[in-house]
Structure 1
Amino acid sequence: MAKATKKQALGRGLSALLKDPENDIKSASDKNADKVVGNIVELEIEAIEVNPFQPRSNFNDQALRELATSIKELGVIQPITVRKLGFDSYQLVSGERRFRASKLVGLETIPAYIRIANDQESLEMALVENIQRQDLDPIEIALSYQRLIDEIQLTQERLSDRVGKKRSTIANYLRLLKLDPIIQTGMRDGFVSMGHGRALVNIDKKEEQLALYEKIVGQNLSVRDTERAVKEYQGKATGATKSTSKPPAVPSFAKEDIQKLTDYLSAKVDIKSSEKGKGKVTIPFNSQEEFLRIKKLIVGE
């Protein structure tokens, strides 16, 4: 109990330091910065603004109320993280659920770690923190990955290192963004799972995706049922364009590797071979940017 009291007193002391205009800390090299940055400080909630880079857009009201009840009983166990904007002004980097729940129960202050970062660093911290710690839905995770790639200019390899996920896992999430927006919304709302989405993304035509999506929801199809339905659709699509000659088949030695190549390149890979063993690998692309991305993965340029 004595340790907890000492820690809280330290937080209040640092809060007083931050309230002193003569000790306004703007960078890590400023006087007393080492006493504040990285330490837990009790900040007034009204001095904190929400992060515009927050990747989470949906907050479950029931879960938020449950967290608020826990905070009312036990306090905020895990501090939030903020970055300093100006004198006695801060912006949330991570911990928005704790921040919102604390406001719900009427707390005036909240324990926080203070960081000094520019907007890009703040975005990266917010995205990586949320991917690792929050229960985001698959589309929110995919959008967070895409933002890290686009706005922080991370390659999938560097992103894999940064978030501690396999590159194939990241590729599987990013492929979900090729689904029709209606299906993406259905996934966010819990009507279908990521497994359903991974199966549906193998259908190129959006109208066919939607038709099968409606069937999944209407008939409560499992992921396995959906995968079978996608294979049936692909078989019919192939049959409609089949010529009188026997079409090239996927060679047995490559069957297990098609999905690996698809995941690695984030593009649908097709492998065909004749009876004599000659064949070809087809990798479609939809834009110059996608072509350059695939090229970089294959040749490293």
Structure 2
Amino acid sequence: MEEKIYQLNIEEISKNPYQPRKNFDSDKLRELAQSIEVSGVLQPIIVRKSSLFGYELLAGERRLRAAKLANLDKIPAIIRMYSDDDMMILSILENLQRDDMSPLDEAKSIRKIIDKSSMTHDEVAKYLGKSRSYISNLLRILKLPHSILLLLGDKKISLAHARTLLAEENEEKQVLLAQKIVKEKLNVRQLEDIIYRKSNKKINNKKNIYIEEKEKEITKYLGISNKISYDKKRQKGKIELQFDSLEKLEDILEILTKNSQ
């Protein structure tokens, strides 16, 4: 059934208390406001009735902000019934579907959903159209020291830098390396060389923490031993699967075939 669209007074709409997104690009807001002045708000926002006054925003904060900049009195809206928990989870998921969310905000939001709901890594991944490994690896960056997360949030280091820093287990050294990235403008390859050079082994011969995690994931998923090898210089790799019977091979092929359909 098609939902009814109401024209609500903007002054009666308060912002979403569970909005995980804090920063909005001012230039893009002005562009949207100019578009709204010409064509109006083309897509309704979503709200719920407030227990105190008016309505609380669920989705469409950019449109609401831009409508205010365009000096509109009313805005098209869909009214839905949501509990506080539903409001929080849906607000986070709505923001996670945006392309301009920073990796740090994305990781924090996913962590919050998992902590506050019964959703698993798999369920969050499916909802967002991501792989489970993407979700798990993104959450791992939250283990880094706060000072490094600040650098990531300020875009002084990249997500790839942050992931690579996890290979260094000592937090003090992680912080020093992060400072070195900023000061010397190190790329990820240079950072890897520094981290793995400590053990006097080439990075290609060092067991990569990412590879180890992938081996564990395959073992858990297929129920078999496996080995992943990767030659970074040649950018080639292979996966070796070990099975002890033809029946086990059939089981593996059945799992892989189902997931390719």
Identity of aligned residues (%): 38
Segments of 5+ residues of structure 1 without an aligned counterpart are: 1-33, 239-248, 266-270, 272-301
- 1:70 matched to which residue of 2? 35
Tell me the distance in 2 between the aligned counterparts of 1:112 and 1:206: 48
For residue 222 of structure 1, the aligned residue among 174, 187, 210 is 187
Q: How much does 1:141 deviate?
A: 0.3
For residue 98 of structure 2, the aligned residue among 133, 154, 157 is 133
For residue 99 of structure 1, the aligned residue among 46, 54, 64 is 64
- 2:130 matched to which residue of 1? 165
* Off by >3 Å, runs of 4+ in structure 1: 254-257, 261-265
Tell me the distance in 2 between the aligned counterparts of 1:112 and 1:41: 5
Task: Go from structure 1 to structure 2 and tell me whether the alpha carbon gap of 1:153 and 1:264 turns closer, same or farther (over 3 Å shift).
Answer: farther
- 1:144 matched to which residue of 2? 109
Q: Which amino acid aligns with 2:61?
A: E
Tell me the distance in 1 between the aligned counterparts of 2:30 and 2:206: 54
Task: Go from structure 1 to structure 2 and tell me whether the alpha carbon gap of 1:209 and 1:66 turns closer, same or farther (over 3 Å shift).
Answer: farther
Tell me the distance in 2 between the aligned counterparts of 1:78 and 1:226: 45
- 2:212 matched to which residue of 1? 258
Pair 1:212 & 2:166 matched: no
Q: How much does 1:205 deviate?
A: 2.1
How big is each residue's C-alpha offset from its partner over 1:18-72, in whole Å with a ceiling of 9 and x where there is no partner? xxxxxxxxxxxxxxxx88xx33222111111111111112222233223222322
Q: How much does 1:86 deviate?
A: 4.7
Tell me the distance in 2 between the aligned counterparts of 1:230 and 1:74: 54
Segments of 5+ residues of structure 2 without an aligned counterpart are: 220-226, 228-261
Q: How large is the RMSD of aligned CA atoms in angstroms?
A: 2.9
- 1:181 matched to which residue of 2? 146
Tell me the distance in 1 between the aligned counterparts of 2:127 and 2:137: 17
Q: Which amino acid aligns with 2:131?
A: K
Tell me the distance in 2 between the aligned counterparts of 1:75 and 1:230: 54
For residue 88 of structure 2, the aligned residue among 123, 126, 133 is 123
Contact 1:50 1:92 in 2 (8 A): yes
Q: How much does 1:198 deviate?
A: 0.9
Q: Which entry has the higher C-alpha Rg, 1 or 2? A: 1
Give runs of aligned pairs for residues 3-42 of structure 1, distance below 5 A. 38-42=3-7
Q: Which amino acid aligns with 1:196?
A: H
Q: How much does 1:257 deviate?
A: 4.2
Q: How much does 1:255 deviate?
A: 9.3
